[in-house]
């Protein structure tokens, strides 16, 4: 059984930094598309960033230049470094893993395995 366990997050003032990590267990490889999503209060879940097996990352316009996604396949870990945080970044953040290595997408339906969610709160 595949498990995706998240860590990190918390509260910070605007302009600060936080990092998130997730580890994947129960699979021999995480060499598939992986991504981070978030859901703010009263909002729909949206893609923040995703990274393919060639470690090419794609970011939402709202986080470009501030967030960095990275992966360590050997350790089966996905990371998200968040800098210059803004109050509008406040949300529950979710790590997600696809079963596919040949296709990456910002669509939630492309991902099969999800983490439990981690709260990120940015105060002004």
pLDDT on residue 46 = 98
Cβ-proximal residues to 28 (8 Å cutoff; 6+ apart), any chain: none
Q: What local confidence, expressed as pLDDT, does residue 31 receive?
A: 82
Question: What pLDDT does 28 receive?
Answer: 65
pLDDT at position 37 is 98
In this prediction, residue 101 carries a pLDDT of 86
Rounded Cα–Cα distance for residues 113 and 67 (Å): 22
Residues of the chain with pLDDT under 50: none
For Cα atoms 77, 100, 92, give the angle at the middle one, nearest 5 degrees: 50
Q: How does pLDDT run across 7-33, given as a tens digit for each residue?
A: 999 999 999 999 999 999 887 667 899
Residue whose pair of structure tokens reads 């210059």 in the numeric block: 84
Specify the pLDDT at position 83: 98
End-to-end CA distance of the chain: 41
Other CB atoms closer than 10 Å to residue 121's CB: what's the count? 16
Residue closest to 88 by CA, chosen among 57, 116, 117, 121: 121
């Amino acid at each position: 059984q595949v498990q995706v366990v998240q860590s990190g997050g918390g509260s910070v003032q605007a302009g600060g930094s936080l990092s998130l990590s997730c580890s994947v267990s129960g699979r021999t490889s995480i060499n598939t598309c992986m991504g981070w999503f978030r859901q703010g209060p009263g909002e729909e879940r949206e893609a923040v960033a995703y990274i393919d097996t060639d470690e090419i990352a794609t970011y939402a316009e709202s986080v470009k230049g501030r967030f960095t996604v990275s992966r360590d396949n050997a350790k089966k870990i996905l990371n998200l470094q968040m800098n210059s945080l803004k109050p509008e970044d406040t949300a529950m953040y979710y790590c997600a893993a696809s079963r596919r290595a040949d296709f990456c997408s910002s669509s939630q339906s492309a991902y099969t395995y999800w983490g439990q969610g981690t709260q990120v709160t940015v105060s002004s």
